Amino acid sequence: MQKLRENNALMGWLMVSPLASVLLVFLVAPIIMIVIVSFWRATEFSIIPAFVWENYEFLFGSPVTYTVFLNTFKYALITWIFTVLIGFTVAYYLAFHVRSLTWQIALFLLCTIPFWTSNIIRMISWIPFLGRNGIANSALISWGVIDEPVEWLLFSDFAVILAFVHLYTLFMVVPIFNTMMRIDKSLIEAARDAGANGVQILWNIIIPLTKPGIMIGTIFVVTLVMGDFITVRFMSGSQSANVGRLISNDIALLQYPSASATAIILLITVLMVIGILLRFVNIRKEL
């Protein structure tokens, strides 16, 4: 027993093993399984173990794949721009304008209230609001802003991005708020004493110090948007596609190998995106 305790290496392994085994069983093993299945063949009602490249060949050979991946990036990028702008503003207000800690906490909790309901409900409730005869259109018509109902409000890319921004802004607010709260207030005072104006403080002090938070929020938003399928389906009225929908269509039609291949490519793409993002900011400083 004494010897065991002295053996640091063994101790280290033992301590890490609970987490490692959980990750192994619930993360690594399923991904390996998906990789394996992506090389299998499928008929309409069964999947056949094999080692063929046809799923990947079809994926890279189809122009749809490129359109859909491009579309997915488009959604991710536009959603990211809006969530960063809104998320940063909200966090900035909470962290620097609200003075008392009680109010900061109270307002922060207020931001999370919508998240007590299912995100599907929050998304679907946009549909009657944005519809041809919905509240938005009838209000605009009664105010005389428009004569005819605006069609592009619902079942369009606009609706998809609106829902994404609505659903995921909080994932940006939380980490940014968190990093902002850790900024030493004396830095800002020193800057002000040295004659910096508000914009300079924002640009030279707050933004650089908030970068890790922005990056964590970015990772959340980008992965969530790139992996989503249900928002795109409902808000575009099934008229637009992203990679998630491609996968879900394949699964619905029992094409598991093809779905796996698409999932693997999506996984690699997302990892590459995150890899690139991490080159810019060292988020370990934050953790």
Partner 1 sequence: MTETTKKLSRRSVLKGATATAAFTAGSTLGAPMIWAQNIKDVTIRQFGTGVSNLNEVAQKVKEDLGFTLEMTALDTDSVTQRAATQPNSFDIADIEYFICKKVWAAGNLQAMDTTKLDNYDKIVGIFRNGKLTPDSEIAQGTAPHTVGFTTGQNGTEFVQEESGWMTLIPTIYNADTLGIRPDLINRPINNWSELLNPEFAGKASILDISSIGIMDMAMVVESMGEYTYPDKGNMTKEEIDLTIGIFTEAKKNGQFRAFWKSFDESVNLMASGEVVIQSMWSPAITAVKSQGIPCVYQPLEEGYRSWGGGLGISAALSGLELEAAYEYINWYLSGWVGGFLMRQGYYSAVPETSKAFMSENEWGYWFEGKEATDAITSPFGDALAGAGDVRDGGSFEERMGAVACWNSVMDENQYMVRKWNEFIAA
147 sits near partner 1 (criterion: CB under 8 A): no
Contact window for partner 1 (CB under 8 A) among 20-28, 138-146, 178-186, 236-244 = 236-244
Residue with tokens 């392994």: 13
215 sits near partner 1 (criterion: CB under 8 A): no
238 sits near partner 1 (criterion: CB under 8 A): yes
243 within 8 A of 129, measured Cβ to Cβ: no
16 sits near partner 1 (criterion: CB under 8 A): no
137 sits near partner 1 (criterion: CB under 8 A): no
Judged by DSSP in three states, 41 sits in: strand
54 within 8 A of 68, measured Cβ to Cβ: no
- Least separation in angstroms between residue 59's CB and partner 1 is 11
Give, in order, the Cα–Cα distances in Å from 46 to each of 33, 42, 239. Answer: 17, 6, 29
Residue with tokens 């069964």: 46
Contact window for partner 1 (CB under 8 A) among 113-121, 127-135, 181-189, 266-274 = 127-135
User: Rounded to an integer, what distance in angstroms lies between the CA atom of residue 85 and that of residue 169?
Assistant: 9
Nearer to partner 1 (CB atom), residue 6 or residue 44: 44
Binding flags for partner 1, 163-202, as an x/- string (CB under 8 A): ----------------------------------------
DSSP-assigned beta bridge partners for residue 41: 48
- How many chain residues touch partner 1 (CB under 8 A)? 35
- Least separation in angstroms between residue 133's CB and partner 1 is 5
281 within 8 A of 211, measured Cβ to Cβ: yes
155 within 8 A of 236, measured Cβ to Cβ: yes
User: Rounded to an integer, what distance in angstroms lies between the CA atom of residue 286 and that of residue 162?
Assistant: 30
Contact window for partner 1 (CB under 8 A) among 48-56, 93-101, 150-158, 161-169 = 150-158
Q: Which residues bind partner 1 (CB under 8 A)?
A: 43-46, 58, 62, 64, 67-68, 71, 127-128, 131-134, 151, 154-155, 233, 236-241, 245-246, 249-255
